[in-house]
Structure 1
Amino acid sequence: MQITNCYILNVRKIVNKKIKFETTISVAKTNIQVAIKEGVMSELTEIYTSLSISNPEYYKPRGHPSKHLKSLAEKSNVQQISSSSKTCSYCLEKGHNIRECK
């Protein structure tokens, strides 16, 4: 029962944060619309520029990390085998392998 209660409390905290964020965004949008209608956009920009925004909270994600996608700057370790370097073990000719031998 305690595990379930802890889980429910964590979910409630997350939901409360989302509700606070949505409410704040809604109020901000309403303020902008009213400022545009009233023609006092300069006052609103002064208020918004005076606010300080802190960095978001960091959390460590659980589970296995996602696959690493290499950027263009990173070199790939996989080398392409050219068909001329292949040698057939059946006919001993270059350019193909035994599976492709005729």
Structure 2
Amino acid sequence: MSIKYYLKPNPIAANPNGYVARTAANETIDIEGVIKKIVKRGTTITETDLRAALSIFFEVVTDGVASGNTILSPLVNIRPGINGVFNGAADVFDHSRHLNKSYRLK
């Protein structure tokens, strides 16, 4: 299966005729879909066991990032981030101004 994409004008490109590519998903697969695909491949692990293991995995990863750690895996690298403007070198972290709730995945 190939990756679908489309082109959009790139207003910040040095070339005024420049375009940027954007991908379009063939389908969206949620975690339940991933679990079903794993089971279909012939594993001896049950859907229930997979669901439990993945639930714990996500909890551990979430706790790790929330504690300020970087998580490295073959699929994604996740690290916490801070955004926003600090009002001088003595300004301190403020959730309302600096929390970055977006994620950059590998």
Scaled by the length of structure 2, what TM-score is found? 0.27
Question: Which structure has the bigger radius of gyration?
Answer: 1
User: By percentage of residues, which structure has more strand?
Assistant: 2
Higher relative contact order (CA 8 A, sep 6+): 2
The TM-score normalised by the length of structure 1 is 0.28
